[in-house]
A and B are shown apart, each in its own frame.
Chain A
Amino acid sequence: MWDYSEKVMDHYRNPRNVGKIDDADAVGNAGSLTCGDQLKIYLKIKDGIVTDAKFQTFGCGSAVASSSILTEMIIGKSVDEVRKITNKDIADELGGLPPEKMHCSVMGYEALEDALKGYVDKDDLNDALDEINGKPVDEKIVCTCFGVTENLIWEAIKQNGLKTVEEVTNYTKAGGACGKCKNAIQDIIDTYYNKEKKENDENKVVLSPAQKILKINSIVENRISPELQKDGGDITLVDIEGDKVYVRLRGRCSGCRNSTLTLKAFVESSLREAVDENIEVVEVNYDGK
């Protein structure tokens, strides 16, 4: 027995906005009969506002609940706001879904995205085109059993912070049947996190000088100093000039014959790893630089 929230139960028992809009301005589809769940969503849009939404769903309790609550979430909202809705928003609005059922919320997101992909507001034509062009157009199918694309897996990882193949399966169904694509899913996860890491690396480069000083200061105080104190020593930040970080070693560290090693192997490498790989740490004595 699934542990469905009260809200999920309310929505599959009394689904809102069921049906079809014959003169809809946008229609989206996700899933299929063979896959075991399918959602069709119909939108009426006036002056950039979703004025009505209806759905038809073939699927389990959580699929119906996700569809039903999605229509409630979007009626009265602007197209721009609606475009920002993620599967996580749908699941959160329902008070959560069992992990194995998260793919139902993803189906809601997919159908909505599908509907808005085809919808171009006249006043907003250029923005919409940018939106479409900005998205990767690669429609490579990763899971042939459920017809799940690389893009959908990528979005699910991004929106929900998924880390394992099993989580991706729960959210997108990919890999849930024959399992042959599990390696491919792992590759996507690896690629995503490498990319995320790279973006973080790039962030380091674009630190402003002030941010850089604050960051170095914080690392010296919170990470390096406590370590040196364990050995009866300490460190003080004296000055920062470009990539040169001037520090003063104190206590047992000062004059210790390992102090050069401490500086290079520990202080410098810590700062290089966390802030900038060009950093050079220079020791200063009490009597100046």
Chain B
Amino acid sequence: MMANNLIYLDNNATSKVDEKVFESMLPYLKEEYANPSSMYDFAKKSSNAVKEARVKVKEFFNANNEKEIIFTSCGSEGDNMAIRGVLDMDKSKRHIITTKVEHPAVLNVYKYLEKQGYKTDYINVNSNGELDLEQLASAINDDTALVSVMYANNETGVINPIQKISEIIKSKNQHTKFFVDAVQAAGKIPIDVQACGVDMLAVSGHKFHAPKGVGALYVNSKTILSPLIIGGHQERGKRAGTENVPYIVGLGTACERASDNLQYEMTEVKRLRDKLEDGILKSVFNARLNTGVANRVPNTTNIGFEYVEGELILLHLSDLGICASSGSACTSGSLEPSHVLRAMNVPFTAIHGSIRFSLSKYTTDKDIDYVLSVVPNVIEKIRDLSPYQDELAELKRRKFGS
């Protein structure tokens, strides 16, 4: 049943490793296997490779100093390390803030901290997925230790105005730390930690064409973390464990490649995303854009198909070789639809049928043409099963006239 061609539109889940990234890693998987901490000449090359990668990541973030970069194993580690590490250094303040639409790697850390006695506030979003900045401003008080806000949402692609949020936080309490989970922003929009005024920011390599198993955390020089992994001196004592040299090198290359590619991402990838989105919204009468006019990363679209269920759409798309993902309850094994779409109050008619398509620099016009040629039929086939034929007929009348 599987089609010959794979059309991968799930780049917010993970992405293909860039060929140049792969090549740059190879020497460190083969002959250059020395531990960068060793004293002999043989270790010089791997030690330098880690240094160079650190400079590349620093430039990618526009950090002030490469000492502000800590290599991690993934986005979740960066999130955990930033949040728990900063709170562990100063236990006097007991109030922390985040948003209702964060990734579980932040949300569940907050839930955990709640059990440890922290007071938490979860900031709302509107129906487009945009953060309620007024609610955020009024939530910050003298006891607020930390605010965590994602740069871009993984399900909807909606971008939070990080610089503005930083200004709000610092105007309310200049001691409050600001952490940004930028996993879904990296490689899609420019990141400038200094201009944005963030204290900490985490990324994950595999979301922008590095392999899985490597990430980075930016921690500015004014912010002190206690380490999650205690042991050796690596990462200036902030993260013990022998450096994952090949993957760190890969991450460095991926950062370089992503910087070079940003213009393409924001023009061509966006053009293809818009083509896909407009095409589906025009040809499928029960489709709605879940994010309205919100500002989004250029590669993501989240479309709700009313009166049909998301897993079934994905299964049919998969039969046609198309990879996408869904906020539907059924795909995750949980019984509730995504917390992001619920926080946005996506109508109950569409929430279970919401599909995320996320593109990359490897997506072509041909891919999008093919998807547009099959999606209307897939949705029609599933619509025909629906017990809501009358409601669907009414939707059709409203969209296309009778």
A interface residues (Cβ-Cβ under 8 A, vs B): 9, 12-13, 15, 18, 20, 29, 33-34, 36-40, 56-61, 63-64, 100-101, 103, 145-146, 169, 173, 176-177
Shortest CB-to-CB span from A15 to chain B, Å, is: 6
Shortest CB-to-CB span from A4 to chain B, Å, is: 8
Give 12 CB contacts A-B under 8 Å.
A33-B307, A36-B330, A36-B336, A39-B387, A40-B387, A56-B385, A56-B386, A58-B308, A58-B309, A60-B330, A64-B385, A173-B335
Q: Are A36 and B329 in contact (CB under 8 A)?
A: yes
Distance of A18 Cα from B381 Cα, bound (Å)? 11
Q: Are A33 and B348 in contact (CB under 8 A)?
A: yes
Shortest CB-to-CB span from B302 to chain A, Å, is: 17
Q: Are B348 and A61 in contact (CB under 8 A)?
A: no
Q: Are B307 and A58 in contact (CB under 8 A)?
A: yes
Shortest CB-to-CB span from B288 to chain A, Å, is: 15
Q: Are A56 and B335 in contact (CB under 8 A)?
A: no
Shortest CB-to-CB span from B171 to chain A, Å, is: 37
CB-CB < 8 A to B336: which residues of A?
36, 145, 176-177
Q: Are B387 and A36 in contact (CB under 8 A)?
A: no
- For B337, give its contact among A9, A18, A36, A169 (CB under 8 Å): A36
Q: Are B388 and A58 in contact (CB under 8 A)?
A: yes
Distance of A63 Cα from B385 Cα, bound (Å)? 11
Q: Are B309 and A60 in contact (CB under 8 A)?
A: yes
CB-CB < 8 A to B389: which residues of A?
20, 56
Q: Are B328 and A13 in contact (CB under 8 A)?
A: no
Chain B interface main SS type? loop
Query: Which chain A residue lies CB-closest to B326?
Result: A60
CB-CB < 8 A to A173: which residues of B?
335
Q: Which of B308, B312, B384 has the most CB of A within 10 A?
A: B312
Shortest CB-to-CB span from A185 to chain B, Å, is: 14
Q: Are A176 and B334 in contact (CB under 8 A)?
A: yes
CB-CB < 8 A to A61: which residues of B?
311-312, 315, 330
Query: Which chain B residue lies CB-closest to A101?
Result: B330
CB-CB < 8 A to B309: which residues of A?
36-37, 58-60, 63
Q: Are A18 and B384 in contact (CB under 8 A)?
A: yes
Distance of A8 Cα from B357 Cα, bound (Å)? 26
Q: Are A60 and B387 in contact (CB under 8 A)?
A: no
Q: What are the 3 closest A-B residue pairs judged by CB atoms, nearest first? A: A176-B335, A60-B330, A60-B311
Q: Are B312 and A59 in contact (CB under 8 A)?
A: yes
Q: Which of B307, B310, B330 has the most CB of A within 10 A?
A: B330
B interface residues (Cβ-Cβ under 8 A, vs A): 1, 307-312, 315-316, 319, 328-331, 333-337, 348-349, 352, 384-389
CB-CB < 8 A to A103: which residues of B?
335
Q: Are A60 and B312 in contact (CB under 8 A)?
A: yes
Q: A33-B352, A60-B328 are in contact. List 12 more A-B contacts (CB 8 A).
A: A13-B316, A29-B387, A33-B307, A33-B349, A37-B309, A56-B385, A58-B352, A58-B385, A60-B312, A60-B315, A169-B335, A176-B335
Shortest CB-to-CB span from B320 to chain A, Å, is: 11
Shortest CB-to-CB span from B233 to chain A, Å, is: 42
- For A57, give its contact among B331, B333, B352, B387 (CB under 8 Å): B387
CB-CB < 8 A to A20: which residues of B?
389
Q: Are B328 and A36 in contact (CB under 8 A)?
A: yes
CB-CB < 8 A to A36: which residues of B?
309, 328-330, 335-337, 352
Distance of A61 Cα from B308 Cα, bound (Å)? 11
CB-CB < 8 A to A58: which residues of B?
307-309, 352, 385-388
CB-CB < 8 A to A60: which residues of B?
309-312, 315, 328, 330-331
- Given A59-B309, A59-B330, A173-B335, the answer on whether A13 and B1 have CB atoms closer than 8 Å is yes
Query: Which chain B residue lies CB-closest to A1?
Result: B318
CB-CB < 8 A to B335: which residues of A?
36, 103, 146, 169, 173, 176-177
CB-CB < 8 A to B384: which residues of A?
18
Shortest CB-to-CB span from B291 to chain A, Å, is: 21
- For B387, give its contact among A15, A38, A100 (CB under 8 Å): A38
CB-CB < 8 A to A169: which residues of B?
335
CB-CB < 8 A to B386: which residues of A?
56-58
CB-CB < 8 A to B385: which residues of A?
15, 18, 56-58, 64
CB-CB < 8 A to A38: which residues of B?
387
Shortest CB-to-CB span from A100 to chain B, Å, is: 5
Distance of A34 Cα from B335 Cα, bound (Å)? 11
CB-CB < 8 A to A18: which residues of B?
384-385
CB-CB < 8 A to B348: which residues of A?
33-34
Distance of A18 Cα from B380 Cα, bound (Å)? 14
Distance of A198 Cα from B159 Cα, bound (Å)? 61
Query: Which chain B residue lies CB-closest to A59?
Result: B309
Distance of A265 Cα from B330 Cα, bound (Å)? 55
Shortest CB-to-CB span from B349 to chain A, Å, is: 6
Shortest CB-to-CB span from A264 to chain B, Å, is: 52
Shortest CB-to-CB span from A212 to chain B, Å, is: 49
Shortest CB-to-CB span from A161 to chain B, Å, is: 21
CB-CB < 8 A to B329: which residues of A?
36
Distance of A47 Cα from B402 Cα, bound (Å)? 43
Query: Which chain A residue lies CB-closest to B329?
Result: A36
Distance of A63 Cα from B308 Cα, bound (Å)? 12
Shortest CB-to-CB span from A85 to chain B, Å, is: 21
Q: Which of A12, A18, A36, A101 has the most CB of B within 10 A?
A: A36
- For B388, give its contact among A15, A29, A33, A34 (CB under 8 Å): A33
Distance of A57 Cα from B348 Cα, bound (Å)? 16
Q: Are A100 and B1 in contact (CB under 8 A)?
A: no
Query: Which chain A residue lies CB-closest to B308?
Result: A58
Query: Which chain B residue lies CB-closest to A175?
Result: B335
CB-CB < 8 A to B328: which residues of A?
36, 60
